[in-house]
Chain A
Amino acid sequence: MSILVCIEGDEGIIKKTSIEAVYYASETGKIIGDEEVIAVALGSYDTAVLENLGNYGATKVIHVNDEKLDKSQIGVYSEIFAELVQTTSANLVIMSKSSFGDNIGGRIAGKTGASIVSNVVALPNVSSEFEVRKSIFTGKAFATVSMPEGLKILLVKRNSVEVNQTDDKAVIEQIPLPNALNFHEKITGSEKAEGDVLLDDAEIVVSGGRGLKGPENWDMIEDLAKALGAATGCSKPVSDQGWRPHHEHVGQTGVKVSPNLYIAIGISGAIQHLAGVNSSKVLVAINIDPDAPFFKAADYGIVGDAFDVVPRLTEKVKSLK
């Protein structure tokens, strides 16, 4: 029996969340007993990049090295993964909880008749049934869920496991692109913010809210983010007013982040915003209003004028380097 991990990458780089998924799979393999961990990578990757998945516990990597797969097309990817679930007789499929995982994990479940649990935050407990803990109510609570016998799919939330590394290398098996695939979706283009740290992958996020008074004041946020190597985010009113692009909106109906450090500047802390950040390890609030609800959720806080405080923090961070 084996555990299959569906790898998500971008231009030949494997996402951090997929590395976590590999590690999660290998730790789960130890719990349920000596399972082979097979990572599946679709599209163009360097061999060395794939071998290094062994560092995180993958024993084998199945690679379909075909540039037709360089863009992750939901339908085709799902078909290939579902096929490999059968041929490797996998009993567990692990993916990261992301737009990729939602789309493809769902389709694999429908295709294979698997049960599926999304937003998993801890390794399974198999002492009686197969039980997993998942985040619910947009981070406001957890549920313990038991899964039935048979093929299972888990979508693992980012930062749910602390990854350890070894020097082990994975064996690579190249397979050709299966025939008779239906390329239903035509991807006609894409747009990406260049050169920035992505919110989803970030260890540190610096977010700004309406307290910054206008998009012209965002340099301050970007300077601090740059000094910290952080991604930038914003509150809903800020993206609604077009001060910042929609993909930076953090909150209940935007991106949910779980970085090590989240710094909220001029964000009052509406419950909908907190829902998107409450699985961060450390929360910092900087706000001129001492009654801002964010101070109730934060670990550290500064009651003060962002326009005074933030540039000083940036200088201090720079001085440490």
Chain B
Amino acid sequence: MKILVCITHVPDTTSKIAFTDNNTKFDVSGIQFIIGPYDDYALAKAVELKESNSGNITVLCVGEVNVEPTMRKALAIGADDAIRVNANPTDSVFVAQQIAAIAKEDQYDLILMGRESIDFNSGVVHGIVGSLLDIPSVSPVMKLEIEGETAKMTREIEGGQEFIEVQLPVIAGCQEPIAEWKIANMRGIMSARTKPLKVIEPVACDKITSTLSYEKLPAKGSVKLIPAENAEELIDLLKNEAKVL
């Protein structure tokens, strides 16, 4: 089974977000970058599937050279080889076009990625790739089993879940609890250094969006504390002052 896992290189979830250059650039100082948490689930699932079905895992990241340490982590966790598309991933359609171009050249049975990146949170790349390749795409997938040529998936829907079966190839946007995050062991880390990491240039994509400026969430005023002995007063405040009841 050939699996393509698409990962993002994003700030750690505990990062304090700030911007520089008159709010036109993300401030990377002091930021720890990680594999996107949802992508990490996708990768873990791919490793599980490889363990039970054998096969090959290619990890793909659209990013500049600074994303390579994150890609090496994915190789250490269990991907066999890696492709980096040398471009800054600023637009969903652009990223999807890159993935689709690679998947057209090399047929994969399964394309896994996180349901969304945690920086731009768009959550649409799986769908765009699916329609560009004209294969089914499903997200967010909480459970995935492969039986022969059929993928059986559990998809989260509002307030519940839905069970879906499709024929391979398929694209899945993953989320917990599809698999347990994997931690690289020493052997993985050693072997990751020598696994192939191919760098390719992006395919052209003309109609893309561009980010003009950023803005932090406005700072909150200080909290209004109600003494526990007068707790009922909270309800009056929510009704009469905040007007939300």
* Most A C-beta atoms less than 10 A away, residue of B11, B120, B127: B127
Is the beta-carbon distance between A192 and B160 smaller than 8 angstroms? yes
Does A109 lie at the interface of the complex (its beta carbon under 8 Å from any beta carbon of B)? yes
Which residues from chain B contact A191 at a C-beta distance below 8 Å? 160-161
Please, how many angstroms separate the alpha-carbon atoms of A89 and B125 in the complex? 24
Partner of B176, one of A185, A200, A253: A253
Which residues of A130-163 are within 8 A (CB) of B? 131, 135-150, 155
Is the beta-carbon distance between A146 and B121 smaller than 8 angstroms? no
Please, how many angstroms separate the alpha-carbon atoms of A301 and B207 in the complex? 47
Does A30 lie at the interface of the complex (its beta carbon under 8 Å from any beta carbon of B)? no
Is the beta-carbon distance between A110 and B131 smaller than 8 angstroms? yes
Is the beta-carbon distance between B211 and A144 smaller than 8 angstroms? yes
Does B17 lie at the interface of the complex (its beta carbon under 8 Å from any beta carbon of A)? yes
Which residues of B137-188 are within 8 A (CB) of A? 137-140, 142, 155-167, 173, 175-177
Is the beta-carbon distance between B226 and A302 smaller than 8 angstroms? yes
Q: Quick one: closest A residue to B36, CB to CB?
A: A253
Is the beta-carbon distance between A189 and B127 smaller than 8 angstroms? no
Interface size on A, residues (CB 8 A): 94
Is the beta-carbon distance between B226 and A301 smaller than 8 angstroms? yes
Is the beta-carbon distance between A302 and B120 smaller than 8 angstroms? no
Q: How far is the CB of B208 from chain A (nearest CB, A)?
A: 7
Which residues from chain A contact B123 at a C-beta distance below 8 Å? 97, 102, 106, 118
Partner of B217, one of A102, A141, A204: A141
Q: How far is the CB of A103 from chain B (nearest CB, A)?
A: 5
Main secondary structure of the interface of B (DSSP, over half): mixed
Partner of B115, one of A102, A111, A141: A102
Is the beta-carbon distance between B163 and A300 smaller than 8 angstroms? no
Contact of A106 with B124 at beta-carbon distance under 8 Å, contacts A145-B210, A145-B212, A261-B245 already known: yes
Which residues from chain A contact B96 at a C-beta distance below 8 Å? 106, 110
Which residues from chain A contact B19 at a C-beta distance below 8 Å? 141
Contact of A247 with B159 at beta-carbon distance under 8 Å, contacts A74-B127, A136-B121, A271-B14 already known: yes
Does A291 lie at the interface of the complex (its beta carbon under 8 Å from any beta carbon of B)? no
Q: Quick one: closest A residue to B212, CB to CB?
A: A144
Which residues from chain A contact B138 at a C-beta distance below 8 Å? 74, 103, 185
Please, how many angstroms separate the alpha-carbon atoms of A139 and B166 in the complex? 34
Which residues from chain A contact B173 at a C-beta distance below 8 Å? 102
Q: Mark A291-320, 1 if CB is under 8 A from B, else 0.
A: 000011111111111001100110111001
Please, how many angstroms separate the alpha-carbon atoms of A253 and B115 in the complex? 10
Main secondary structure of the interface of A (DSSP, over half): mixed
Which residues from chain B contact A137 at a C-beta distance below 8 Å? 11, 17, 118-119, 121
Does B1 lie at the interface of the complex (its beta carbon under 8 Å from any beta carbon of A)? no
Does B235 lie at the interface of the complex (its beta carbon under 8 Å from any beta carbon of A)? yes
Please, how many angstroms separate the alpha-carbon atoms of A300 and B156 in the complex? 32
Which residues from chain B contact A198 at a C-beta distance below 8 Å? 158-159
Partner-binding segment picked from B59-67, B74-82, B236-244: B236-244
Which residues from chain A contact B14 at a C-beta distance below 8 Å? 271-272
Is the beta-carbon distance between A304 and B228 smaller than 8 angstroms? yes
Q: How far is the CB of B50 from chain A (nearest CB, A)?
A: 24
Q: Quick one: closest B residue to A317, CB to CB?
A: B235
Please, how many angstroms separate the alpha-carbon atoms of A305 and B128 in the complex? 49
Please, how many angstroms separate the alpha-carbon atoms of A163 and B85 in the complex? 43
Partner of A186, one of B128, B165, B231: B165
Q: Quick one: closest B residue to A199, CB to CB?
A: B159
Is the beta-carbon distance between B167 and A320 smaller than 8 angstroms? no
Is the beta-carbon distance between A118 and B92 smaller than 8 angstroms? yes
Contact of A316 with B235 at beta-carbon distance under 8 Å, contacts A99-B158, A186-B166, A299-B224 already known: yes
**Sample of 5 more A-B contacts, CB < 8 Å, known A102-B115, A118-B123:** A116-B124, A138-B121, A140-B17, A200-B159, A296-B223
- Which A residues have a C-beta under 8 Å from some C-beta of B? 10, 71, 74-75, 78, 82, 97-99, 102-111, 113-119, 131, 135-150, 155, 184-193, 196, 198-201, 204, 228, 246-247, 252-253, 260-261, 271-272, 275, 278, 281-282, 284-285, 295-305, 308-309, 312-313, 315-317, 320
- What 10 A-B pairs are tightest by C-beta distance, nearest first? A106-B127, A304-B228, A110-B131, A106-B124, A192-B160, A118-B122, A110-B128, A102-B123, A107-B131, A316-B232
Could you name 27 residue pairs across A and B whose Cβ atoms are closer than 8 Å? A102-B173, A104-B127, A106-B92, A107-B128, A109-B131, A110-B129, A117-B122, A117-B209, A118-B92, A141-B214, A142-B217, A145-B210, A188-B165, A189-B163, A199-B159, A252-B13, A253-B37, A284-B238, A295-B225, A299-B220, A299-B221, A300-B224, A300-B225, A301-B223, A302-B225, A304-B228, A312-B231
